[in-house]
């Protein structure tokens, strides 16, 4: 543990992670409702997406607008490995994460080597997601625009579950892994370097931090973690096409949660995901009958939240 890393709070952070893990484990005792379990599953999926983004964007200050790139790579890796090569889903999991990491390394090596920052970095990630979307449409092994439909095979051995509880535990495990990664970032020398680069890259470099390698490592971690959420999506919903995988929807979902929850915090992605899901559900229930009203309200609340909670929800909590 480096001298600059804050040593305090490690125990507390781990305790919170343990509490979250326990809550996920015990949740099925509290409710068997498919709707509730599905809502929690989608919230955790958004959490993992947000965690991936938060590593690079929250801790490292490198905003990605194209995290669907990693989501899609994970999803396609999972589907292609299982359907084209007959590889078991559990073996496909590390391979999908590795594919996400590799694409992260590729994008990072190019972008950071040429010193892209700020909006330039954001746009390059967006462009890569688009390139992959178009490629997925053109290449034969991805099924092109027809997409890939994972056959139903509800056995745990195939990473498919008859009950939603199995999926809850699967995405819960990914989320807990994401939390542990965040706790490590918060309390390790590597994490301190990453934050130093975010706050002032030149100063960090002057102190001997190899900014390029640290950022590269961050985008690799981001790619790997985000890819697992893509794999989960395929296992859970069984169908993927280029627009779902690489379209803007998941890129936006990835950045919304951590920004609303609190960037660069350990639990911001979770808090953001919960708040956004609760918001979208409550606006939906408020005005269900006229299409568009609920989403318009969602947009308005988003604006108001930014206006009055500029540091995200965790920022608000910390100020008190």
Partner 1 sequence: MPDATILAAALVNGATQGAIYALIALGLTLIYGVLHIINFAHGAALMAALYAVLLLFTGLGVDPYVALPIVTAGMFALGYALQRMVIGPASHGRDENILLVTLGVAILLENLALVAFKSDTRTIDTPYAFATVDVGGVLIAVPKLAALGGALAMTAALFWLIERTDLGRAIRAVAKERQGARLCGIDVEHVFALCYGIGLACVGAAACFLLPSYYVNPTVGGGFVLIAFTVVVLGGMGSFVGALVGGFVVGLAESLGGLAGITLGWGENMGQLGIFLVFIAVLLFRPQGLFGARG
Partner 2 sequence: MVRRPRSSRRSFLKQSAALAAAGSPLGFPGLALAQPAPVKIAVIHPVTGPLAYSGQLCRLGARIAIDEINAAGGIKALGGAKLEPIYADAPSPQAGTAEVEKANEAGAAAVVGAYASAICLATTQAAAKHSLPHLVDVGVADQIVERGLTNVFRFGPGYRKTTSDAVKYLHTLNTLAGNRAKSVLIVHEESLFGTGTANLLSQELPKLGFEVKEVIKHANPTRDFANIVLRIKTVNPDIVIPANYYNEYALLVRTMRQQGVKPMAIFSVLGGAASSFKFVAEFPDIANGIIDVNHWYNPSSKAAAALRRKVEGMKDQYFTYEVFLNYESVYLLADALERAKSARRDAIIAALASSTWNGHFMPYGPTQFVNGQNAGAEPLTMQVRDKDIKVVLPSHLAQAAPVFPWKG
* Contact positions vs partner 1 (CB under 8 A): 57, 63, 110-111, 114, 116, 118-120, 122-124, 126-128, 130-131, 134-135, 137-138, 248, 252, 255-256, 259-260, 263, 290-293, 295-296, 298-300, 302-303, 305-307, 310
Calculate ∠ Cα 234-179-154, nearest 5°: 25
Residue from 249, 300, 304, 306 in contact with partner 2 (CB under 8 A): 249
Residue from 14, 42, 102, 165 in contact with partner 2 (CB under 8 A): 42
Alpha helices (H) along the chain: 10-30, 34-53, 68-85, 89-113, 118-138, 164-187, 189-199, 201-206, 211-237, 242-246, 248-261, 268-286, 293-308, 312-319
Return the SS3 of 160.
Answer: coil
* d(C-alpha 190, C-alpha 209), whole Å: 10
**One character per residue 125-144, x = contact with partner 2 (rule: CB under 8 A):** ---------x--x------x
| Inter-residue contact 71 to 255 (CB < 8 Å) | no
Q: Which does 50 bind (CB under 5 to 8 A by kind): partner 2, partner 1, none?
A: none
* d(C-alpha 4, C-alpha 223), whole Å: 27
Binding flag, residue 117, partner 2 (CB under 8 A): no
Residue from 35, 157, 202, 206 in contact with partner 2 (CB under 8 A): 35
Q: Give the nearest distance from C-beta 63 to partner 1 in angstroms.
A: 7
Burial 140-169 (b: 16+ CB within 10 A, else e): eebbeeebbebeeeeeeebbbbeebbbbbb
Q: Which does 15 bind (CB under 5 to 8 A by kind): partner 2, partner 1, none?
A: none
DSSP 48-96: HHHHHHIIIIIIT----S-THHHHHHHHHHHHHHHHHH---HHHHHHHH
Q: Give the nearest distance from C-beta 128 to partner 1 in angstroms.
A: 7
Q: Which does 130 bind (CB under 5 to 8 A by kind): partner 1, partner 2, none?
A: partner 1
Residue from 2, 34, 94, 299 in contact with partner 2 (CB under 8 A): 34
Residue from 279, 284, 311, 317 in contact with partner 2 (CB under 8 A): 284
* d(C-alpha 307, C-alpha 290), whole Å: 27
Does an H or E element contain 239, and which? strand 239-240
Nearer to partner 2 by Cβ, of 210 and 281: the residue is: 281
Please identify, among the stretches 9-17, 95-103, 121-129, 240-248, the one whose residues bind partner 2 according to the rule CB under 8 A.
Answer: 240-248
Q: Which does 241 bind (CB under 5 to 8 A by kind): partner 2, partner 1, none?
A: partner 2
Provide the binding-site residues for partner 2, judged by CB under 8 A.
33-35, 37-39, 42, 134, 137, 144-147, 149, 151-152, 162, 164, 233, 237-239, 241-244, 249, 284, 288-289, 291-292, 294-295
């Amino acid at each position: 543990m480096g001298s600059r890393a804050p040593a305090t709070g490690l125990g507390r952070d781990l305790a919170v992670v343990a509490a979250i893990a326990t809550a996920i484990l015990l949740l099925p005792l509290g409710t068997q409702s498919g709707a509730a379990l599905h809502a929690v599953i989608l919230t955790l999926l958004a959490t993992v997406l947000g965690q991936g983004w938060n590593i690079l964007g929250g801790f490292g200050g490198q905003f990605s607008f194209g995290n669907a790139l990693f989501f899609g790579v994970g999803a396609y890796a999972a589907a292609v490995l299982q359907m084209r090569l007959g590889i078991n889903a559990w073996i496909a999991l590390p391979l999908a994460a590795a594919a996400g990491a590799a694409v992260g390394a590729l994008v990072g090596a190019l972008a950071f080597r040429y010193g892209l920052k700020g909006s330039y970095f954001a746009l390059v990630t967006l462009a890569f997601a688009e390139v992959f979307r178009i490629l997925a449409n053109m290449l034969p092994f991805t099924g092109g625009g027809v997409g890939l439909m994972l056959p139903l095979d509800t056995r745990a051995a195939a990473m498919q579950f008859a009950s939603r509880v199995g999926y809850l535990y699967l995405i819960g495990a990914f989320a807990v892994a994401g939390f542990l990664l965040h706790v490590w970032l918060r309390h390790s020398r590597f994490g301190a370097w990453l934050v130093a680069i975010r706050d002032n890259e030149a100063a960090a470099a002057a102190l001997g931090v190899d900014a390029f390698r640290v950022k590269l490592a961050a985008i690799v971690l981001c790619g790997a973690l985000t890819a697992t959420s893509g794999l989960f999506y395929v296992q859970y919903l069984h169908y993927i096409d280029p627009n779902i995988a690489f379209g803007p929807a998941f890129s936006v979902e990835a950045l919304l949660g951590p920004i609303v929850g609190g960037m660069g915090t350990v639990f911001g992605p979770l808090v953001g995901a919960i708040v956004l899901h609760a918001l979208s559900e409550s606006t939906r229930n408020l005005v269900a009958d006229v299409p568009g009203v609920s989403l318009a309200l969602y947009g308005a609340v988003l604006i108001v939240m930014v206006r009055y909670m500029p540091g995200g929800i965790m920022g608000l909590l910390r100020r008190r």
